[in-house]
Chain A
Amino acid sequence: MSLAENIVKQFDGTAATGAHRHEALEAFRQLGIPTSRHEEWKYTNIKTKLSESLSLGEVSSEVNAAVKNYIASLPPYAFRIIFLNGVFHPELSIVPDMKGFSFYNLHDLFSAPSTLLDKYYGRLMNYRQEHFAALNTAFVRDGACIHVAKNTIVNDPIYIQYFFTASEAQAFTQTRNLIVVEEGGSLQLAEDFRNASNIPVQYNHVSEMFVGPNANLDVVKLQLEVSNAVGIHTLEAQVERDGAFSAATITFSAPDTGTGRSVIRNNVSARLIGENAHADLNGLYFGKEDAHIDNHILVDHQVPNGTSHQLYKGVLDQEATGVFNGKIFVQPDAQKTNAFQSSKALLLSNSASVNSKPQLEIFADDVKCSHGVAIGQLDEQALFYLESRGITKPEAVQLLTYAFAHEAVERIKIKPVRQFMCDRLKEELKLNF
């Protein structure tokens, strides 16, 4: 039995039938799991990374010491929505209690008629053509659904924490977010993934995000502590007139305990469907050992006067490999678009490598688009300058790597996360200043 057949067989026909489940399953049955023959998965042969006998059933979720310690380390009143192995835990969560802010567990929305789901769910995610969007849509149970009403400003960031505490190594966890910020609203959100167990984890996370007219949504995706993980992330955002969306995707490979399967794939897309909309898609990836980190970015300018900015920085050491694929589409109507993309990767060892591919498809004639790709080593002149002041070579490398990576950290719009990442980067590079 193939991997895809095994997955399809586990479909629970009695689960909530709405929410496009059957259609998505049918699509997945046709699509299967991609191999490296699929253009979008050319450098990430995901099929060979997933375990043969995946289980999509519910797994027990224990609140272990690692989870407790982490929660204790958060500011006591920080808003947080906590999932263990993909299951929502209300008793661990603190959700803002304010007018205009609503939170639902998707699971509860699935089981009753919901205008929110009808209007938004599955509208951005192409579950008919995307393998993992289809799989997620067919199988997902819990997830965070946040609705920010018109002109509601949510001042404090909300942390959506996904912990893995499973004792089931075959689990393939499906999680999902649906975020809607209505006209003039504002929200900051961190999606944080952590493996709080010693065993390998596999997950497939999908987010759909709707940014209304003149609304603002800042997202940080933190993938810092996902050791031994095969993680697939897909984020689709849509931005209306005068809206602003930002996503910063930060991936640090955590130590692998010998599974040889540490793979993170990020698909981040922003579609600008209203005039004068803006998207900022930034990222930092830091791979060590045999980690593989793949970022696929897409900005789709559909209407005039949109602006977008992409800055990705990668640091790859030891045997780590990276992939950057940055697409910018400028549709025929999208005159006066201003789109910028920069992707830089630093290779710290001879065995590290990166495949970087900018892809600009411009169908309008009055636009400003630029892109730059650079892959290289540290500047020898700068290294010598630091060494000539008595700093050892390894420390000089750390300092310059910090400087290189810090530019991406500075772009994080959620202030406490930016500060945390600054410290985390220093810790990663063993710098103490």
Chain B
Amino acid sequence: MLSIRNLNVGIGQKQILKNFNLDIRPGEVHAIMGPNGTGKSTLASTLAGKEDYEVLGGEVLFNGKDLLAMSADERAREGVFLAFQYPVEIPGVSTTNFMKAAVNAKRKHQGLPPLDAKDFLKMMNEKSQLVEIKREFLSRSINEGFSGGEKKRNEIFQMAMLEPQLCLLDETDSGLDIDALRIVANGVNKLRDANRSFLVITHYQRLLNYITPDFVHVMYGGKIVKSGGKELALQLEEKGYDWIKEENTELV
């Protein structure tokens, strides 16, 4: 589904991703862990199409298509979703109207007519239950005055609404208390299926107690330095990141 080959990305004068490689097949959950500042969020933002990041080389194929040639909105309509580390507050636009625009943009892309009001409402009701979001939240301005946990739940709600094929979770667990973490993780687990893949970026192993990954990768100095199964996450939890740093001193 996703194939990243020798991806090099910089911001300003600084190169962040260095010959990054990763393959994700349908239905797989990959976790990317690593110390702060190793390029995890850069990877997520680059895949989602954020313009601040400059692709210096390499390619990314998504279902065989050149992802890097698409604008951010095209990528989303093709089925890529980024759950933001810091969801943006947008005063004046309700989540309902936002989702109506987004869902219908995707439907148009698929050659489907816009959802009528009744079907849209039904869909909102169903999906909001996944992450235990109250209806009143959806009529409020996007993320305005939401707590950290509410913002992250709203991200997963939007993910559920847009039914993407590739879900990028950028430190979705950061700043969550244990209840919020459980709700968010449950939402994600309910969305797992044989055709939907996840790239879960996290600094901590804790999230992976709730979302069980098929693969765990350790990122350091702009590339993956170690890959394994879910047991690798436990190892990192126990030993910290220092041994990774020591093994890869030449990368910094």
Binding site for B on A (CB under 8 A): 379, 381-382, 384-393, 395-396, 399-400, 402-404, 406-407, 431, 433
Contact = CB atoms under 8 A, between A and B. Distances in A.
A251 B44 CA distance: 43
B100 interface: yes
Interface string B79-107: 00110100110111100111111100110
B188 interface: no
Contact of A388 (B48, B97, B99): B48
A403 B92 contact: yes
A350 to B, nearest CB: 18
Contacts of A399: 93, 97-98, 101
Given A385-B84, A433-B100, A433-B101, A390 B76 contact: yes
B226 interface: no
B43 to A, nearest CB: 15
21 contacts: A381-B88, A384-B50, A385-B142, A386-B102, A387-B73, A388-B72, A388-B75, A388-B82, A388-B84, A389-B98, A389-B105, A390-B162, A391-B102, A392-B105, A393-B71, A393-B73, A400-B93, A402-B93, A403-B93, A406-B92, A433-B101
Chain B: number of interface residues, binned into ranges: 20 to 34
B88 A385 contact: yes
Contacts of B75: 388
B75 to A, nearest CB: 8
Contacts, number: 83
Contacts of B91: 403, 407
Given A388-B82, A400-B93, A433-B97, A382 B88 contact: yes
Contact of A390 (B51, B77, B84, B93): B77
Contacts of A396: 73
Given A392-B105, A396-B73, 6 more contacts: A384-B51, A389-B102, A390-B73, A391-B101, A391-B102, A407-B91
B158 interface: yes
A390 B108 CA distance: 11
B49 interface: yes
Nearest to A426: B97
8 interchain residue pairs of minimum CB distance: A403-B92, A390-B76, A389-B102, A385-B88, A387-B72, A433-B97, A390-B77, A387-B73
Q: Which of A387, A396, A402, A431 has the most CB of B within 10 A?
A: A387
A402 B102 contact: no
Interface string B154-172: 0000100010000000000
Contact of B76 (A388, A406, A407): A388
Contacts of A404: 92
B109 interface: yes
Contacts of B96: 433
Contacts of B97: 399, 433
Given A384-B72, A385-B84, A385-B87, A390 B102 contact: yes
Contacts of A381: 88
